[in-house]
Copies of this chain bind each other. A is one copy, B any other.
Amino acid sequence: MNTTSSKIGLPPGTLVHVGTQWSDEVKISVTDYTPTTIEEYQVNTIEEVFQLKEHTSVSWINIDGLHDTALITKLSEHFELDTLMMEDIINTQHRPKSEGFEDHEFITLKMLGLTADGKSIVEEQLSIILGKNWVISLQEKEGDIFHEFRVRVKDGKAKARKKGPDYLFYRLIDMVVDNYYHVTEHFGDTIEAMEESIIAHPDRRALIDIQQLNKKASQFRKAISPLREAILNLQKNESELLSEDTLRYIKDLMEHVVYINELIDHQKEMIGNLMDLYHSGVSYKMNQIMQLLTLVSTIFIPLTFIAGIYGMNFAYMPELQWHWGYFGVWGLMIAVAIVMVFYFKKKKWL
């Protein structure tokens, strides 16, 4: 969060990178294809991609690393991109949104994944710009969720090869949304595992785990709930860049986003249930311990009292002289204990 402050006080349209600086070097890779041809290469300077603006082939320019504002500025100028939009792109804490311009469409959203240990969610911002025959995608660091797709495009297997840049634009968003399912599945599995573990051992660790999960779910929801609006926006923009076919795909995508939102709400409810289960488990354990204490105390306190009676040193205590006195007292004690145990059994306290 701290990083946001660095921007406070500056005028709008000033390109200041907001976010963790992930990679040292900016990596620019280009995929340029037609149904029949394909070229893939990396470039070192942003100027090398400028000529792609006028190509008739579909050009996908992917930029990993947003901290080189000079580069971003050059890109923005050449492709005549909106300045405020560029600002949104390099502010990696921007909420998902889409915006339509005269000759380009823009969407920014969150790529969400789990860390290797599954303990936290990695959030990375992806911005995609769709132009006449090019798509520019910008992300904070080199990711791998597009790797498989890239291979398929190269092989010519991907449907994208036969379609225009708007389809590519859609597919990139689609792959990010598909990835959300991994997170919800992880949540689903974790909730199930926790449920069993909490029923077995409702210890304090469990509570902290539930809280962590709840926090992750909240973070997830915060990241994806504005996406609904963003995609709806795309549908309504009536941009000439999006073919009717692609709009149908986007409508389908919308349903996925709605579904994931419902799922996460459902999962938040389940996490709430876990909390109840935990609390009831803790109080159940406590109650059992208290019941034992009560049992032991309630049985032995009267017995100890009886023993105390006959420990008194009065000069004249007739029972003490009786031959069977000692055994009689034992009998009395045993009788009292049995009556109490029976009483407890009857009350279902044992």
Contact = CB atoms under 8 A, between A and B. Distances in A.
A347 to B, nearest CB: 8
Interface of A: 1-2, 4-5, 7-9, 11-13, 84, 87, 94-95, 97, 148-149, 158-160, 171, 174-175, 178-179, 181-182, 184-185, 188-189, 199, 201, 204, 207-208, 211, 214-215, 218, 222, 226, 248-249, 252, 255, 258-259, 262, 266, 269-270, 273, 275-280, 282-294, 296-298, 300-305, 307-317, 319-323, 325-326, 329, 347-349
B305 A316 contact: no
A315 B304 contact: no
Contacts of A175: 9
B273 A215 contact: yes
B185 A4 contact: yes
B283 A282 contact: yes
Q: How many of these chains are in the complex?
A: 5
| Dominant secondary structure of chain A at its interface with chain B | helix
A159 B201 CA distance: 58
Contact of A304 (B160, B292, B301, B326): B301
Contacts of A204: 280, 284
A317 B308 contact: no
Contacts of A308: 303-304, 307-308, 311
Contacts of A276: 211, 275
Contacts of A12: 174, 249, 252
B289 A286 contact: no
